[in-house]
Chains A and B, each alone.
Chain A
């Protein structure tokens, strides 16, 4: 708040004050006061008026500059009323009251939405848990029915994959800590994922090569399996008909990090698409041309990696290969707790 802007506000009041001063002096002259006395009274009146103006300006300025400073540094700006002292002038009090009311309402709104979103998430988790029962039942039925039932297995597995997507999307979007960081064997995690996709992999005759997976990284096992499952699923979608499909999964241990490379010799990603593949709802050329893609898979992968403190990146050449690199830090879990 600049003084000139403040003064402009006070201009009418100052005008009235000066007019009253002038009138008073005129009365003094009419009642025969001496000149010196009139000058004295005039100076006193002006000085007093100016003092009142300046004092008024400074106490306002103090409040507003503190409020602006608080606003600037605040992480949640809707909590502003909690961070500024209550002003002691009338219009400031009115403003403060309104601000408090608005902030409280906003806070309640935010809390309400947080509650709803976490309730919704809990419901999703429960729903996923429930829907897995009939899926499990159907898989058993298929197996028990022998060859007649085998036809349905791949479709049921698809349903299961989509269900997993919902679950992990809900997890990646929410801030609650529902992961456990502990040493996870890459061999074991990849084994579980490969086993889950065994039928699909064999159907395509994919050869799988693993190197150096006999190591452990600090992560959440279930999340890592989901991430690997997404990568494997993508590879399966985009294999080229003209060559033997191959997936190479390799890990390399460095003093401060472990790198996991997930490489396939599929369709690859064009250079123009590559920077966006981890974006939400991005479906590049491949997604549009070959299969219905929701653009969620790699987005969820990246979100989960961010939450776990891992890095994820991709290298690819259109028509030749795609390689996804996951980097696990030695201390990812510690970094995460700080944030």
Chain B
């Protein structure tokens, strides 16, 4: 389980955020005393830090610089300011991502999991039921040869595969697709999923994707 450190001075947000992350299967730690945040950050041994830019008495960008002197831990900067300068500064100080309040919770979770994945290296699952998944080629290959998936189908398949055996909501699938510049609507998502099902079952993977009413889909 990944441990996420929340450096956020607004208490309601900190608590809701913590709940959101716990529900998504992360372990969370919070800093509540901002007298010496750097020491607390260093001793928290987190896998990822969500760092607010506006903190009492200290600037998040400054803090990021201090962290980067010694640590390589992934950091996502969070701010309610909407100007380009903060983003440019944060990225140049070595932030892994930057997100503005109010954030869409689904996107926040997506970003967190993307950053964590990147920091762990590419040890993502690359096989499914004996098939080799080749994202770059957009194909699955096995004894029966090669199954070519469209970009949308591959994105859906990968998202389901990463959480194999767990429910992935339509909203999450949609968010992943939109995050990859595929702005499909609700109907198109349904069509894409049923096409993916048909392709998989034609390729020998029967009942690969199950529908859970009002919840989402599971890759079995």
B84 and A198 within 8 A (CB): no
B187 and A191 within 8 A (CB): no
Residue of chain B at shortest CB distance from A207: B185
> In whole angstroms, what is the CA distance A240 to B121 when docked?
48
> In whole angstroms, what is the CA distance A134 to B4 when docked?
22
A139 and B104 within 8 A (CB): yes
Q: Does B26 contact A (CB under 8 A)?
A: no
Q: Chain B, interface size: which category? A: 20 to 34
Interface string of A201-229 (1 = CB under 8 A from B): 11001111010010000001110000000
B84 and A180 within 8 A (CB): yes
B13 and A202 within 8 A (CB): no
- Minimum CB–CB distance from A179 to chain B (whole Å) comes to 7
> In whole angstroms, what is the CA distance A141 to B124 when docked?
32
B179 and A140 within 8 A (CB): no
Chain B interface main SS type: helix
Select one of A129, A178, A195, A205 contacting B178, CB under 8 A. A195
B101 and A136 within 8 A (CB): yes
Residue of chain B at shortest CB distance from A224: B84
Interface string of A108-149 (1 = CB under 8 A from B): 000000000000000000001110111111111101100000
B84 and A140 within 8 A (CB): no
Tell whether A198 pairs with B175 under 8 Å between CB atoms, given A129-B54, A139-B102. yes
Which B residues are in CB contact (< 8 Å) with A191? Answer: 178-179, 181
B174 and A182 within 8 A (CB): no
Chain A interface main SS type: helix
Tell whether A133 pairs with B181 under 8 Å between CB atoms, given A180-B85, A202-B174. no
Q: Does B71 contact A (CB under 8 A)?
A: no
Which B residues are in CB contact (< 8 Å) with A132? Answer: 80, 101-102
> In whole angstroms, what is the CA distance A181 to B101 when docked?
22
Which B residues are in CB contact (< 8 Å) with A135? Answer: 101-102
> In whole angstroms, what is the CA distance A130 to B10 when docked?
10
Q: Knowing that A198-B174, A201-B185, A205-B185 touch, tell me 19 more A-B residue pairs with CB under 8 angstroms.
A: A129-B54, A130-B80, A136-B101, A137-B16, A139-B103, A139-B104, A140-B105, A141-B16, A143-B106, A144-B16, A160-B102, A164-B82, A191-B181, A195-B179, A198-B104, A205-B187, A208-B183, A221-B84, A222-B84
Most buried by B among A179, A195, A210: A195
